[in-house]
Amino acid sequence: MDVLNDLLRIKVFREKKAERILAVARHHLRNAEQLVLSVKTKLRNFRFESARRERELYAELCSRLVLIRDIDSVQIDVQLMKEREEELVAQLRKAEVLRNEASTQEMLAQRQHIDAVRAREKYYEMSQTVMKEQEYENTRQEELETEESAEVRFLMSTLDDSNDFHIVRNSP
């Protein structure tokens, strides 16, 4: 029974360890999801602002006489906005990769936790079964001892009765 209890304690320890690992994995997944959301928001806002800014720049060019360097300046500004957008898209891809990895780690941690819970439950059930069997055996043993004691008392009383009878016969 002690060995089974020791194994049960080990299973409980492993289950708690799996719970902690699962909690950490879920925390990392939430952070990765928040990062994806944040980068998506930045990208959407940047696209909106860069489109607005590009329209303003071209509208300004169209509203006046311009020099070639003005056109070049607008093209450089537009190109810089496109490069910044590409950087944000790359950040989004990295964030999505991190989220996918975190999701995979969370799923693995969840499977390990489920396995640890099942193992602990199995050993708990075995422990309970052994304990019930031990209780049954103890009760059975007590009943046998009680029956044996009753038989001994009965035999002793029978012997006492027969001894009394012999003594009575021998007395007259």
Buried-exposed string 113-141: b where 16+ CB fall within 10 A, e elsewhere:
beebeebbeebeeebeeeeeeeeeeeeee
pLDDT at 88: 97
pLDDT at 167: 47
DSSP-based three-state secondary structure for 171: coil
Q: Give the residues of the chain that fall short of pLDDT 50.
A: 165-172
Domains of the chain: 2-144 (1.10.287.1700)
Look at the pTM and tell me if it is higher than 0.85.
Answer: no
pLDDT at 159: 74
Measured distance CA(17)–CA(9) in Å, rounded: 12
Structure tokens at 126: 């075995």
Structure tokens at 88: 């944000």
- DSSP letters for 113-160: HHHHHHHHHHHHHHHHHHHHHHHHHHHHHHHHHHHHHHHHHHHHHHHH
Q: To 10 degrees, what angle do helices 2-62 and 68-170 make?
A: 160
pLDDT at 62: 92
- For the chain, how many residues are written? 172
Structure confidence by residue, pLDDT tens digits, 123-168? 999 999 989 999 999 999 998 888 888 888 878 877 766 655 444 4
